[in-house]
Amino acid sequence: MSEQAHATGTHAEPHVVPLKVYYAVFAALLVLTLVTVEAARFDLGHPEWGGARIPLNVIAALAIAVTKATLVVMYFMHVRYATRLVWLVIGAAIFFLVILFGITGADYVSRGWLGNPGT
């Protein structure tokens, strides 16, 4: 890599990931898939949250899915070795996804607060 490319943070050649990293990530994905299947066999409860009963199985499945998606994006899509601009775009996408989930969750939790307006 040239001195100018090194100083600006740009890469003149693509990053080469060893095969053992891909195998390790694949094994982790398989293990997490098995954990998802096993977690679905048990009832993890239904705590009250804002007047709504939220099943913990859904939260556990989403946490495992986010972990698996993060592994895929970081290693198979090479984001771990990408430029800051790619990280900024992914951060913005996650930020807006959190906003959308927050708005959806607020709507779900607030249902029934006003009663049934038709009666």
**Domain boundaries defined on the chain:** 3-82, 84-119
Give me the amino acid identity at 35. Answer: V
Q: Are 9 and 83 spatial neighbours (Cβ–Cβ below 8 Å)?
A: yes
Radius of gyration of the chain from its Cα atoms, rounded to whole angstroms: 21
Distance CA 95, CA 77 (A): 20
> Model's pTM, two decimal places?
0.69
- At residue 43, the pLDDT reads 80
Q: Is 98 left (phi over 0), alpha (psi -120 to 50) or beta?
A: alpha
- At residue 93, the pLDDT reads 95
Query: Roughly how many angstroms between the first and final C-alpha of the chain, as a whole number?
Result: 73
In eight-state DSSP terms, residue 34 is H
Tokens of 110: 């607030």
- At residue 30, the pLDDT reads 97
Return per-residue pLDDT of the chain as tens, 119 residues.
Answer: 455 555 555 655 777 889 999 999 999 999 999 999 998 888 877 766 555 566 788 888 999 999 999 999 999 988 898 899 999 999 999 999 999 999 998 988 888 777 776 66
- At residue 32, the pLDDT reads 97
